[in-house]
Amino acid sequence: MEYKRILGLDYGSKTVGVAVSDPLGITAQGVEIIRREKPTKLRKTLARIEELVAEKEVEAIVLGYPKHLNNTEGDRCEKTVEFKEMLENRLHLPVILWDERLTTVVADRTMDELGVGNHKEFVDEIAAMLILQNYLDSLAKS
């Protein structure tokens, strides 16, 4: 199924990188990084995502799924699935898990090449863009 506007999320222990597709579903643009004090404090994070979904008229969410390089699933995958369920229950939108292996590495390298100084400040947003762009590219191929 194709959606018009898709939100891409890179869910981390203290941040969520956010990206959104253009209305044609061709490109991903960075939106912001949602930060929280503690990993378990998700109420404000979910509220901000809900605001962005309404503001951007989002119809689906692509959520990075952090498998290990050897394709096994660890603790972060478990937490990501829990976050996925929270999003689905709150927003009533489809949430698609998308393999995010190496997106942070690629984001770091990209910022190195561009001469961006403080990677930590932008890496989650760039990772969200890469997750969403990979998903959009897969739709274009099918």
Regarding the domain delimited by 6-141, which CATH topology (the fold level of the hierarchy) does it fall under? Answer: Nucleotidyltransferase; domain 5 (3.30.420)
Q: Hey, where are the domains in the chain? A: 6-141
Residues 6+ apart with CB under 8 A from 92: none
User: pLDDT tens-digit profile of 35-82?
Assistant: 998 878 899 999 999 999 999 999 999 999 998 778 888 898 999 999
At residue 28 the predicted structure's pLDDT band, cuts being 50, 70 and 90, is very high
pLDDT at 27 over 70: yes
Supply angle C-alpha 9, 41, 96, rounded to 5.
Answer: 25
Average pLDDT, rounded, for the chain:
88
Strand-pairing partners, residue 97, are 63
The more confidently predicted of residues 109 and 63 is 63
Q: What is the pTM of this model?
A: 0.88
Mean per-residue pLDDT, 107-131? 75
